[in-house]
Structure 1
Amino acid sequence: MPEQDYLREKDAPLRQDIRILATALGRAIQRDGNSSVFEMVELLRRACKRLRDCTDQVIQANPEELQLLQLEIVELSHKIEETVERCELGTAIDVIRAFTVYFHLVNTAEQYQRIRRRRISEEQATRPQHGSLAALIEFFKQNHVAPEQLQELLQQMSIDLVFTAHPTEATRRSLITKSRRVAELLEQHDEQLSGREQQKWQRQLDATVDLLWRTDAIRHVRPQPIDEVKMGIYYLDEVLFEALPELYAEFEELLHEDYPGVQVPPLLRIGSWIGGDQDGNPFVGPTTMLDALNLQHSHLLRHYRFAIRSLAEEFSQSSVHTHVSSDLQQSLAYDMSCLPAYTQELGPQLKLEPYRAKLSFMWKRLLNTIVIDDAPHGPGWIAAPRPTEEELSGKHNNYRNAQELLADLHLIHESLLADGEYDLAQGVLIKIIRQVEVFGFHFAALDVRQHSERHAAALDDLLRASGWRAEGYRSLEEEEKIAVLEQLLRDPRLLIRSDLAVSAETRHIVETFRTIRLARESFGERAITCYIISMTHTLSDLLEVQFFCKEVGLTNLPIVPLFETVKDLNDCTEILATAFTHPDYKQYLDTCQRQQQVMLGYSDSSKDGGILTSSWELYQTQRRLAVLGKEYAVGITVFHGRGGAIGRGGGPIYEAILGQPPESVNGRIRITEQGEMLSFKYGLHEIALRNMELVVAGVAQASVSDEKILETQVHPRPTPEWEQIMSQLSQHAYRRYRQLIYEDPTFIKFFEQATPILELGWLNIGSRPARRSASKAIEDLRAIPWVFSWMQSRIVLPSWYGVGSALEDYILADPAHLTTLQQMYRQWPFLRAFLDNLQMTLAKADMQIAQYYTQLVEDAELRERIWTLIHDEYERTQKMVILILQERDLLDNAPVLQESIRRRNPYVDPLSYFQVSLLRRLRALGGPLTLDPEQEEQASAEERERARLTYAVLLTINGIAAGVRNTG
């Protein structure tokens, strides 16, 4: 069967799902009395689709056909623009809403198709799915990895997937939960339904789609940090609490088919920045950290109680017919002596059912452990009275930490195994054990992050207030700063006192470190994983944090430098080498078992130097870090600060991990999972499983040592010539990128007018401001809105600009260079991942739509000059990528993704036309304005018009983000 026919057959269920959902949406719109809206949607959809078809046909048209096509393209473009311009604002808002809801439905359908294909693959495939755990085990077998070597590898593995609140999900939680319900209904539809069941199913689908249609996609109030915390907990509650132990169970089950003695330790955990990331967010502080941990703790312990109660109901073994270990008997006796009132409540049946009795006492102790709050409990929580003061005061009446709960679970597990009840021991019970091992009492471990300048400013303030040093600390040279810090670190006396008159900003820093200590004492050391220093430039940045740790009595909190700019990536290993030899930091490192995390910033390095230079510098930095770790006998864990979009380090994670330098992973890795991607990657149980297995498989495969385990090399290494080529390409791309973005003073004006960057701040998608300071320079703009705004205008500039010129000049210098690049693409995972990501982002960009946005630039000369540079570089980059990949068109080697983008474009295009039109009208009236109900009553007609236009623009931003599946 030809590949195109095969793909059409494979995707037939997806196309059917989209038709069903689109039809349901059409009915919802018409039920709402919006027949004119429905007609407008259809008119624009057909016109945009025909315009796309004509544009695609131009390439292969003969001269006569070309002339006709060009005429039709002009007519269609005018028709679409005219239709949008004449559209009454109320109708426009509903049309935008219709396309936005459509994308939420299509996104859900495509996610469920991934689940459907995964199931079919498992049932029918003759070989394991790419990147799966089964494929990983096949890799182990093919490369003759011995059981003891595999066990050693698994023991050293440590993977953290760290959720962030930025860029926060542009889609409201209300829409996410309804989309999840749609996915459940699609799954039901795959089953054989009777006539009555089909009718009931249709009613449920229509009701859900109708709710989606009537739910406002825009947040009218900016979320607070606690709202973001609750959003993060949603994924932990609804998906990951069940999915993560299932991943472990599947891995161990697959392993035991070929490696029966190998055990899977708790190698993958979830972390979070939500509530702990203070960098540039004035609304996050010490209280937010505790609120986040308390809320996670409460949710988690209620999950444990529900699971243990269910287990107690199941474990009804009679003492007459079962044997209980002596350790479990002693533990049960101790429970009874510590909780006499509850023993009495359980009654005489207690002694007849020892397992149920033990689980009941565990349930009671967990109740006494829960941090009680006033929030109503969600469905499924066990209603129970508050514990008495007497119950809370006893040492054994609650669980002081997760290890105590784990010890009780292991007692039951060992007793069951000793009695031959293997299936019971390895069933639900082992799942709960996994959950406690991974989630502890904190659910997601919190990272704390702050900007390096804030530490220096606080120390400067403290030194002045204490009289220790009158002249400014921040004005000192680096050597002088280090000398001051050495004195402070070696002085047993404490500098920080409660009577010091310091600023609120300094108190904030000091209180943060005190709260970290309190949180680790309350929830366990794993509750707060590390302290991250944004914009680390020097050794003193690390020693300043060490000083604050010393002042509050924190001795083993990992200090993590974050290197973000291209220059900092270059300086990274030199700074760390100085730290590793500095006596004070060396001593601190010993308290952390000589383990050092190093965070690398993908977003800011890309904004600073362009995507090619950023990618290459990150690669080289990791390679140098691997050498540095060996030289100083320090275990270095690289923390990858990846964003969701390609311009911020996003892209397929399995390929990205395998593309890292050999010996740089070594089983240990931390990766950010950005807020915008959480619903896409963790919104559905099986999708979450797939994403986590890709990470585990990638890390394990990348960590297999060529030297120690394998006879032949399986991790391709670049030749010196390839490295030289990459350095040459990087330098060229860097110059071209910087020339436009930073060296042309007029570029900022083009950027602000040709994209909705100035309007993005009004879209309430996160608690953190878009800029680090009041400056309007690109340097001070955060990478998230930088990428987001270019994605909205369909230029997607940060993900490709500068690459085409570098490739073209290299190839033109010698035709043989093209063959070399083609070989590098085939044989080097790093370059293959880079170019595959590049072609994906080029395919998402659209120069026809992008040129329409340039009409917003008022200065004609500026518009034409900058647009020509951008357009020519895009064409150049596309041409070079297709040449190297030896394809006819972008994404020919990824037909599923290619078809997804083609399917979406005709529906994204109307939103882009509306956005440009609305931006022009809004800016003419003075820019964005929002009004609360009280203000609206007193507002002028022009102000109300501005507010409605603002709302409409924000709707288009939300809709385009859903359509292209990227924000920033």
Structure 2
Amino acid sequence: MNPEQLPKELTNLVNWSVTELGKVIQSELGEKGFDRIESLRQYVKTEEGEKLHGLLKIKSDLSQLSRQDQYAIAHSFALMLELINSCESAYRTHRLREDTKIMTEEGHSFGHIIHVLTAHPTESRNPDIIYYFKKIQKLLEKHLVNEEEKDTTELFALLKITWRIPMSKQRKPTVMDEAEYIYSLALHEDVMRVFIDQTAQKLPFYIRSWVGGDKDGHPGVNEKTLLGSLQMARQFLLRWIQDKFSSFMKDLEPLAHTFGKHQSEMEHLLSLAASIRKLLTQLKKIRAGDSKKVKALQKNLDQLLADYQRFLGIESSVLYEVRLLLKIFPGLVVPLELREEASLVHEALQSPLRKSAISRMLQLLGKIASENDPRFYVRGFVLSQTESAKDLIAGVQLVEKYLGKARLPVIPLFESAHSLSSSVSIVEEFLKNSVRRKYIENLWSKKFEVMLGYSDSAKENGSFPSRFLIYSAIRELEKVIKTHGFEPVFFHGSGGSVERGGGSIQEQTEWWPHSALNTVKMTVQGEMIYRNYSSPEILRSQLDRLESARDLSQKKEDRFESPRARKDLLTLSQFVQQSYQELLKEPAFLQLIETATPYIFLKDLKLGSRPAKRQGSVDIKHLRAIPWVLCWTQTRILFPSWWGIGSFWRNLNEEGKIHYIRAFVESSLFRSYIKLLGFTLEKVELEIFAMYLHSSELPKEVAEQMVQRFTEEYEQCRLAVREITGEESLLWYRPWLETSIALRSPLIHPLNILQLIALKEKDVTLLRETVTGVASGMLTTG
């Protein structure tokens, strides 16, 4: 580990802010409490403090403390890790401001980028703590501009407030809580500037939301949440427009007393402006026929824009921006994506007398949109667990029933190994019918959209098999859809963590075909919304990287690996899938999930409005993908990303290994996976996982056997990465990241230890704080 690999500005910022946090802790807990935390911080950074016997000693010591003292330690380390995250975000924002490059039409190819913002239970932090840490980040950004002006008093005051606020959520959020959180970030004034600038440069960027429309497995979603989510977005957007329009009217006031030949023109402008103001007032509440009023607003605005330009010979920049916003949000809302399980869509069609929630949602959409395009309010109808063309046909029929025609695109979600393998035949069968093809041509803008589920496929099969299944499906689907003359759109249902298809923009997109980069559509979930939208500079950077990935893709031909490499990757995928699934079926492993992870307390964590698990026994099928990954993130083992790779490598002869070393050079899929694999392995802490096993109710011999098996697999996996890449470091491509992980990892250890105490004592308050703290340290809940 070499701290010098990190920028000096960042390390100075961390040292300053953590020192101030130490002063807050000292003022709150006194010298004794502060010394205890500082000694613990220093000890875990030593080699002794990271070994199992050292960790168990800490556990023994902390077990003797009162619940109040245990919570104070957990809160201290959780705040410290979140403060380090704020330092990193502030530094990144600062650097991006310094390196800002204005994108031009010539600089990038055109295409759409769409973020679908979701509220899956991945954001564990208390909304109040997020509010204050955003203020802290702004203060840190200011400090980086001028280091001589350290606002130590303000930083101390803000940290003092955060000390009084739990890091974790104290109540289960409602769907509307999640909508407010998402829109407060994504429709913040600073972010609105990004939407406007991107569109003005003909690099359109759009957002959608699942909050309020994602019915699949969510008993709290119905027509009321659909309307509530649209209404909340409307409030944010209207507020922005009204502020802009007030500014325009203020500029217009001095001209109100124009005399002579211009008087009638001025009166006309004022009359138009008055009608727009009236429409804005009428649009505050979304009712049946809302689209007619939005359309009238657009028409009047266009007229005012043109008449103003004729009157003065110049364009109103304020009105122009308002008009751009209405192009970005033509329904004056953030459009939703509806989702329901395919089998329940069939049931909805067969039960005409008792309308299901999804039926009522579509019926409400029809009333709001009236004869205008419902896609201004809802962009698509996603069918989860699509297993046949009959599922898609049922989706179309349900849309026709409540919207008159198939005016809403029906989107299959392929997420299981079976559905991904069958996806091409399902789509082919659906597209055989000429009537359905006319729907796509006339009502769906000649685009056929497919959603690819990374989370559930990875939970079922392991990370590499999941990516290989999606990689295989996407290329064949592209051919089939293009053969019928339609544009394929691939909706990537990935998450923030590697285990759910996440990773850097480069690693995520490197293996996508051209068409997947023409319209980039991807989910942004939970805490990743905050990471991406906490500053406009970070958001712009993400968009610029996607644009660059598109440009790079268009400059090179889609290059398929050789038949030999393709066969080798298939062999690897099948081996890992089998090895992973065999482990999941072991009774001892199911016992491990229940007794050595926070699984049984998922309902107490208050992570999200959606149930953390489906009804049923403790098994993989009933556990949702995100809480599944949460278990392995919290225990620091992250095994779905790497299990099976090590044993596969161990069984290869030298000639076989050479084939995979060549595949690393030749295959973008394999290369991106190996890079993500190195990143994941660097974050794994076997000693922490071993402590969870030894502290659980597992029989001692079973725990020992599990520790040995995971250790052997892990070490073999590390060896595989080194031999495939020819590099000693697992993060050879980002050395600073290796340093960052090594510096922050020991600071998470006390939280894991306190979590084990909380699990044993059934101390839910302490458990919540430790889960949130570990998530801050790992940069993802799940």
Give the shorter-chain TM-score range: over 0.9
Q: In structure 2, what is the equivalent of residue 833 of structure 1?
A: 672
Normalising by the residue count of structure 1, what TM-score does the alignment of the two structures yield?
0.75
Q: In structure 2, what is the equivalent of residue 7 of structure 1?
A: 5
In the alignment, the residues of structure 2 paired with residue 410 and residue 823 of structure 1 have an alpha-carbon distance, to the nearest angstrom, of: 60
- Structure 1's 675 and 409: CA in aligned 2 closer, same or farther, altered over 3 A? farther
Q: 1:309 touches 1:363 (CA, 8 Å); kept in 2? A: no
1:513 aligns with 2:348: no
Q: In structure 2, what is the equivalent of residue 964 of structure 1?
A: 778
- Structure 1's 96 and 323: CA in aligned 2 closer, same or farther, altered over 3 A? farther
1:849 aligns with 2:688: yes
Cα-Cα RMSD: 3.1
1:853 positional shift: 0.7
Determine what percentage of the aligned residue pairs are the same residue: 25
Q: 2:119 touches 2:178 (CA, 8 Å); kept in 1? A: yes
In the alignment, the residues of structure 2 paired with residue 204 and residue 547 of structure 1 have an alpha-carbon distance, to the nearest angstrom, of: 59
- Structure 1's 407 and 912: CA in aligned 2 closer, same or farther, altered over 3 A? same
1:438 positional shift: 1.0
Please list, as runs of the form range in 1=range in 2, the aligned pairs for 1:247-326 lying within 5 A after superposition: 247-248=198-199, 252=201, 264=202, 267-314=204-251
In the alignment, the residues of structure 2 paired with residue 877 and residue 323 of structure 1 have an alpha-carbon distance, to the nearest angstrom, of: 84
Q: In structure 1, what is the equivalent of residue 511 of structure 2?
A: 659
Q: In structure 1, what is the equivalent of residue 543 of structure 2?
A: 692
Q: In structure 1, what is the equivalent of residue 182 of structure 2?
A: 232
1:530 aligns with 2:373: no
Q: 2:514 touches 2:550 (CA, 8 Å); kept in 1? A: no
Q: In structure 2, what is the equivalent of residue 709 of structure 1?
A: none
1:206 alignment partner, one of 140, 146, 156:
156
Q: 1:760 touches 1:789 (CA, 8 Å); kept in 2? A: no
Q: 1:24 touches 1:205 (CA, 8 Å); kept in 2? A: yes
Letter in 1 for 2:229: A
Letter in 2 for 1:449: R
Which digits, 9 at most, give the CA deviation of each residue in 1:577-633, with x for residues without a partner? Answer: 000013553343343243211101001111111111111110010000111012222
Please list, as runs of the form range in 1=range in 2, the aligned pairs for 1:653-732 lying within 5 A after superposition: 653-660=505-512, 662-665=513-516, 667-702=518-553, 704=554, 713-732=556-575
Q: 1:761 touches 1:770 (CA, 8 Å); kept in 2? A: yes
Q: In structure 1, what is the equivalent of residue 628 of structure 2?
A: 786
1:369 aligns with 2:369: no
- Structure 1's 191 and 633: CA in aligned 2 closer, same or farther, altered over 3 A? closer
SS at match of 1:274: coil
Letter in 2 for 1:525: R
Q: 1:225 touches 1:284 (CA, 8 Å); kept in 2? A: yes
- Structure 1's 14 and 333: CA in aligned 2 closer, same or farther, altered over 3 A? same
Q: In structure 2, what is the equivalent of residue 146 of structure 1?
A: none
Q: In structure 2, what is the equivalent of residue 642 of structure 1?
A: 494
In the alignment, the residues of structure 2 paired with residue 79 and residue 395 of structure 1 have an alpha-carbon distance, to the nearest angstrom, of: 65
1:170 aligns with 2:124: yes
In the alignment, the residues of structure 2 paired with residue 394 and residue 885 of structure 1 have an alpha-carbon distance, to the nearest angstrom, of: 58
Q: 2:112 touches 2:518 (CA, 8 Å); kept in 1? A: yes
What are the ranges of 5 or more consecutive residues in structure 2 without an aligned counterpart?
Answer: none
Letter in 2 for 1:458: A
Q: 2:456 touches 2:625 (CA, 8 Å); kept in 1? A: yes
Please list, as runs of the form range in 1=range in 2, the aligned pairs for 1:831-910 lying within 5 A after superposition: 831-855=670-694, 856-910=696-750
SS at match of 1:308: helix
Please list, as runs of the form range in 1=range in 2, the aligned pairs for 1:54-133 lying within 5 A after superposition: 76-122=54-100
Q: In structure 2, what is the equivalent of residue 612 of structure 1?
A: 464
In the alignment, the residues of structure 1 paired with residue 217 and residue 374 of structure 2 have an alpha-carbon distance, to the nearest angstrom, of: 27
Please list, as runs of the form range in 1=range in 2, the aligned pairs for 1:423-822 lying within 5 A after superposition: 428-460=318-350, 462=351, 496=352, 500=353, 502=354, 506-521=355-370, 525-552=375-402, 553-590=404-441, 591-660=443-512, 662-665=513-516, 667-702=518-553, 704=554, 713-742=556-585, 744-809=586-651, 812-813=652-653, 815-822=654-661
1:406 positional shift: 5.1
In the alignment, the residues of structure 1 paired with residue 260 and residue 113 of structure 2 have an alpha-carbon distance, to the nearest angstrom, of: 39
Q: 2:215 touches 2:339 (CA, 8 Å); kept in 1? A: yes
Which digits, 9 at most, give the CA deviation of each residue in 1:537-573, with x for residues without a partner? Answer: 1111112222222222243100011111011100001
| Deviates most, 904-913 or 685-694 | 685-694
Q: In structure 2, what is the equivalent of residue 929 of structure 1?
A: none
- Structure 1's 413 and 44: CA in aligned 2 closer, same or farther, altered over 3 A? farther
In the alignment, the residues of structure 2 paired with residue 769 and residue 114 of structure 1 have an alpha-carbon distance, to the nearest angstrom, of: 35
In the alignment, the residues of structure 2 paired with residue 578 and residue 74 of structure 1 have an alpha-carbon distance, to the nearest angstrom, of: 57
- Structure 1's 633 and 518: CA in aligned 2 closer, same or farther, altered over 3 A? same
2:764 alignment partner, one of 950, 956, 960:
950
1:699 positional shift: 3.4
In the alignment, the residues of structure 2 paired with residue 166 and residue 394 of structure 1 have an alpha-carbon distance, to the nearest angstrom, of: 29
- Structure 1's 333 and 848: CA in aligned 2 closer, same or farther, altered over 3 A? same
- Structure 1's 735 and 301: CA in aligned 2 closer, same or farther, altered over 3 A? same
Which digits, 9 at most, give the CA deviation of each residue in 1:428-478, with x for residues without a partner? Answer: 554433322212343421011111121223334x2xxxxxxxxxxxxxxxx
In the alignment, the residues of structure 2 paired with residue 754 and residue 395 of structure 1 have an alpha-carbon distance, to the nearest angstrom, of: 53
Letter in 2 for 1:203: T
- Structure 1's 109 and 576: CA in aligned 2 closer, same or farther, altered over 3 A? same
- Structure 1's 507 and 95: CA in aligned 2 closer, same or farther, altered over 3 A? same
Q: In structure 2, what is the equivalent of residue 482 of structure 1?
A: none
1:656 positional shift: 1.6
Which digits, 9 at most, give the CA deviation of each residue in 1:203-225, with x for residues without a partner? Answer: 22111111111112232221111
Which digits, 9 at most, give the CA deviation of each residue in 1:248-295, with x for residues without a partner? Answer: 45xx3xxxxxxxxxxx16x32100001111111101111110111112
SS at match of 2:413: strand
Letter in 2 for 1:244: F
1:757 positional shift: 1.1
In the alignment, the residues of structure 2 paired with residue 527 and residue 454 of structure 1 have an alpha-carbon distance, to the nearest angstrom, of: 23
Normalising by the residue count of structure 2, what TM-score does the alignment of the two structures yield?
0.92
In the alignment, the residues of structure 1 paired with residue 517 and residue 70 of structure 2 have an alpha-carbon distance, to the nearest angstrom, of: 54
Q: 1:413 touches 1:429 (CA, 8 Å); kept in 2? A: no
- Structure 1's 888 and 566: CA in aligned 2 closer, same or farther, altered over 3 A? same
Q: In structure 2, what is the equivalent of residue 379 of structure 1?
A: none
Q: 1:402 touches 1:441 (CA, 8 Å); kept in 2? A: no
In the alignment, the residues of structure 1 paired with residue 551 and residue 475 of structure 2 have an alpha-carbon distance, to the nearest angstrom, of: 18
Letter in 2 for 1:241: M
In the alignment, the residues of structure 1 paired with residue 53 and residue 633 of structure 2 have an alpha-carbon distance, to the nearest angstrom, of: 27
SS at match of 1:841: helix
In the alignment, the residues of structure 2 paired with residue 619 and residue 285 of structure 1 have an alpha-carbon distance, to the nearest angstrom, of: 34
1:215 aligns with 2:213: no
- Structure 1's 77 and 513: CA in aligned 2 closer, same or farther, altered over 3 A? closer
1:244 alignment partner, one of 165, 178, 195:
195
- Structure 1's 310 and 187: CA in aligned 2 closer, same or farther, altered over 3 A? same
| Deviates most, 111-120 or 849-858 | 111-120
1:301 positional shift: 1.0
- Structure 1's 457 and 32: CA in aligned 2 closer, same or farther, altered over 3 A? same
SS at match of 2:732: coil
SS at match of 1:780: coil
Q: In structure 2, what is the equivalent of residue 411 of structure 1?
A: 306
How many residue pairs end up in the alignment? 777
Q: 1:595 touches 1:634 (CA, 8 Å); kept in 2? A: yes
Q: In structure 2, what is the equivalent of residue 467 of structure 1?
A: none
Q: 1:168 touches 1:675 (CA, 8 Å); kept in 2? A: yes
In the alignment, the residues of structure 2 paired with residue 287 and residue 755 of structure 1 have an alpha-carbon distance, to the nearest angstrom, of: 36
Letter in 2 for 1:770: A
Q: Which has the larger radius of gyration?
A: 1
- Structure 1's 318 and 215: CA in aligned 2 closer, same or farther, altered over 3 A? same
- Structure 1's 120 and 525: CA in aligned 2 closer, same or farther, altered over 3 A? closer
2:25 alignment partner, one of 25, 29, 33:
29
Which digits, 9 at most, give the CA deviation of each residue in 1:812-849, with x for residues without a partner? Answer: 32x24444433433443322221111111111111111
1:903 positional shift: 1.5
